[in-house]
């Protein structure tokens, strides 16, 4: 059974495994900053507080949480059950009420 922790980062609190062989989650645990920040940087030029975004492959929600603070609404898809549940937990603990997972 996987043991989880809540990792505090400058932009969100994230439910992440204590130990992970998953490269992205390991990076999130070790670096405490957003993964692939260049994606967010590219979107910044197009987002407003009236934007509605569709995120395909939302994973554990690291981008989703950030985007929810910048946009009116985010529709986040995650096909893998394990990550979908993690996404939902992360949305809940970060009060992302403008996201539909």
- Residue 81, pLDDT score: 95
Q: How far is CA 99 from CA 4, 16, 65, in A?
A: 23, 20, 9
The pTM (predicted TM-score) of the whole model is 0.90
Are 88 and 96 in contact by the 8 Å Cβ rule? The answer is: no
- Residue 59, pLDDT score: 95
- Residue 24, pLDDT score: 86
Question: What does the alpha-carbon distance between residue 88 and residue 76 come to, in Å, rounded to a whole number?
Answer: 10
Q: Quick one: DSSP state of residue 22?
A: S
What does the pLDDT profile of the chain (101 residues) look like in tens digits?
789 999 998 889 999 998 877 888 888 888 877 888 888 888 888 999 999 999 999 999 999 999 999 999 999 999 999 999 999 999 999 999 999 99
CB-based contacts of 3, cutoff 8 Å, min separation 6: 17, 18, 19
**Residue 82: alpha-carbon gap to chain centroid:** 14
């Amino acid at each position: 059974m996987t043991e989880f922790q809540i990792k505090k980062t400058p932009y969100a609190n994230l439910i992440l495994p204590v130990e992970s062989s998953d490269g992205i989650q390991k990076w999130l645990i070790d670096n405490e900053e957003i993964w692939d920040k260049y994606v967010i940087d590219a979107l910044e030029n197009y987002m407003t507080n009236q934007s509605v975004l569709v995120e395909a492959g939302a994973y554990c929600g690291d981008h989703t949480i950030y985007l929810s603070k910048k946009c009116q609404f985010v529709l986040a898809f995650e096909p893998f059950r394990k990550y979908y549940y993690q996404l939902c937990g992360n949305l809940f603990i970060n009060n992302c009420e403008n996201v539909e997972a």
